[in-house]
Amino acid sequence: MMDSASSMVPHVCFFIDSSFSSTLEGLELLMYSQETEQEHFLVQEDLERVWKSGEENFSILPCLSVRSGLDLFLSVKQYPPGSEIIVSSINIPTVIKILHHHNLKIRSCDIDIKTMSPSVQQFKSLITKKTVATLLAHVYGKRFDMQPFINMCKDQNIVVLEDCAETFYGLQFKGHPESDIAFFSFGTIKISTVFGGAIL
């Protein structure tokens, strides 16, 4: 069993493509930066120019982390206590804490070890009248087909949150175009790190 599972999950060596001096310079800028509001606006414009291509019609939101972006989204939505959210069974504890903080009832969907995809059949059975959103994660950098989940959610007005925190390896993939929000992380343990931050 372990042999077949290990062949499905990509394992990579952790390597930060940055010199020691570049790393120190970046940390210094983070700690002692005195940017004005206008400079922040210009950075936002630069990020949008890099992130978008051609006719893409969406907005981006830089955040401190995926978790802070998720908390911001849930603070704005203010779902009634007891509302349900379906999440991938593999997640990080702080995401679960954020969902509990917003009084959401968590429904966990198992992941198929061969595809690293949530179970479509189980997902369908977890949807109730109280389901307001789903947070599905592409784990270990392995993407799966979001379309079946999006189809089920759109039919029932369920918000689709696509957790792409571990799947950024270039701008050719920016999440499924029908997801309501796609979360990308650039934290210290990510392959494409800038030592923190996220794009929603």
Least confident of 82-96, 127-141, 182-196: 182-196
Strand order in the sheet with 159-163: 62-63, 198-199, 181-185, 159-163, 131-137, 84-88, 105-109
What is the pLDDT, as a whole number, of residue 5? 43
Q: Exposed/middle/buried for 133, CB within 10 Å: 0-12, 13-18, 19+? A: buried
Whether the CA torsion 29, 31, 34, 37 is positive or negative: it is: positive
Least confident of 4-18, 76-90, 106-120, 164-178: 4-18
What is the pLDDT, as a whole number, of residue 3? 44
What is the pLDDT, as a whole number, of residue 107? 96
What is the pLDDT, as a whole number, of residue 177? 85
Higher-pLDDT residue of 30 and 118 is: 118
Read off the pLDDT of each residue in 53-72 and give the average, rounded to a whole number. 80
Write b or e for each residue in 58-75: b if 16 or more Cβ atoms lie within 10 A of its Cβ, otherwise e.
eebebbebbbebbbebbe
Band (pLDDT 50/70/90 cuts) for residue 198 is low
* 153-157, 164-168, 176-180: which is most confident: 153-157
Residue with tokens 């949150």: 161
How much is the mean pLDDT over the chain?
Answer: 81
Least confident of 2-16, 26-40, 69-83: 2-16
The answer to whether 66 and 163 have CB atoms below 8 angstroms apart is yes
| Residue 34 pLDDT exceeds 60 | yes
Q: How far apart are CA 106 and CA 100, in angstroms?
A: 8
DSSP string, 133-200: EEEEE-GGG-----HHHHHHHHHTT-EEEEE-TT--SSTT--S-TT-SEEEEE--TTSSS-SSS-EE-
Domain segments of the chain as ranges: 65-200
| Residue 4 pLDDT exceeds 50 | no
What is the pLDDT, as a whole number, of residue 129? 96
Higher-pLDDT residue of 145 and 174 is: 145
The answer to whether 139 and 117 have CB atoms below 8 angstroms apart is no
What is the per-residue pLDDT across 147-165, written as a single tens digit (0 to 9) for each?
999 999 999 999 999 888 7
The CATH fold assigned to 65-200 is Aspartate Aminotransferase; domain 2 (3.40.640)
